[in-house]
Amino acid sequence: MRNNIVAGNWKMNLTRDQAKMLVEKVLSGNCRKNIEVIFAPSFINLYKIAKMCSDHTSFSVAAQDCSANKKGAFTGEVSASMISSCNAKYVILGHSERRLNFNESNDDLKAKISQVLSNNLEVIFCCGESINQRKESTYFDWIESQLSESLFHLSKKEIMKVVIAYEPIWAIGTGMNASPEIAQEMHAFIRGLLSSCYGTKISENISILYGGSCNAENAQTLFKQKDIDGGLIGGASLNSKNFLKIINSF
Ligand code: PGA
């Protein structure tokens, strides 16, 4: 059975104290059992937050990116092995902000995925179309190319270490979430692609998260959809009350 997951992508927000306070409030709040909760802080808070979560089995941390290189003269970069040594479980890769602002290509992501998996970490792989691709009805082809060019070379064992996050770019940080029907349609399409490449059994065991203006108000109707297994939450994950409400939306 695939996991229900709520992941908070903090992006470039929260100082050390603010991060600690937010996590304390979430950990001491009332969370539904059997939901995997992930915090994705900045690199400098990774170790601290992982430590705070270490006694809480359903909580873990994710880095927001990693280097495509193993180690060496790459000033400012953070390697997958460093992330692993901070006791993180996941690395978010392919977020549209990184694809757009840092020109990350599907090939770059393929290299990063290889680093992540070879350091015993798991991947939260983001995909999503622009507003123009949505209007021009090229979004299915686009998502298929993002997945096939970065992920579908993986073995069956490796793909089981991947969580997919569908995040339409037009919904990120805009307050304009995809309707549950639109999101479900894409999630079912993604699961279908997984099934053609890896078989039904594996496709049914991979969690597919929705991201893009998911909040305490709309999470429940989104999470009710058959192929939506949770959310990758940006803005609404920065407030403990909202985040707890989202966790309890299943
Ligand atoms: P948002 O961001 O929830 O603020 O729209 C989601 C994301 O970028 O992962």
CA distances from 167 to 31, 48, 161, 183 (A): 25, 28, 19, 9
d(Cα 74, Cα 216) in Å, to the nearest integer? Answer: 40
Q: Considering 36, 95, 97, 122, which one is annotated as catalytic?
A: 95
Is the shortest distance between the CB of 212 and ligand 1 below 6 Å? yes
User: Closest Cα to atom 3, ligand 1: which residue?
Assistant: 234
How confident is the model at residue 31, as a pLDDT? 87
Sign (positive or negative) of CA dihedral 234, 235, 241, 246: negative
Is the shortest distance between the CB of 246 and ligand 1 below 6 Å? no
What is the tens place of the pLDDT at every residue in 13-42? 999 999 999 999 999 998 888 999 999 999
Ligand 1 site-directed mutation target among 163, 213, 218, 246, most atoms within 8 Å of CB: 213
Find residue 36's DSSP bridge partners. 5
What is the tens place of the pLDDT at every residue in 209-234? 999 999 999 999 999 999 999 999 99
Average pLDDT over residues 110-125: 98
Asked about 95 being catalytic, the answer comes back as yes
Q: Output the six-digit token pair for 22.
A: 């937010």
**pLDDT for 73 beyond 90:** yes
How confident is the model at residue 213, as a pLDDT? 96
Band (1; pLDDT cuts 50, 70, 90): confident
DSSP SS3 for 22: helix
d(Cα 24, Cα 199) in Å, to the nearest integer? Answer: 41
What number does the ligand 1 atom closest to the CA of 97 have?
8
Average pLDDT, the chain: 97
Asked about 153 being catalytic, the answer comes back as no
Total-model pTM: 0.97
What is the tens place of the pLDDT at every residue in 155-171? 999 999 999 999 999 99
Q: Output the six-digit token pair for 134.
A: 């949505």
d(Cα 125, Cα 105) in Å, to the nearest integer? Answer: 13
Q: How far is the CA of 172 from the centre of ligand 1 (A)?
A: 5
User: Closest Cα to atom 1, ligand 1: which residue?
Assistant: 234
How confident is the model at residue 32, as a pLDDT? 84
Band (45; pLDDT cuts 50, 70, 90): very high
DSSP SS3 for 1: coil
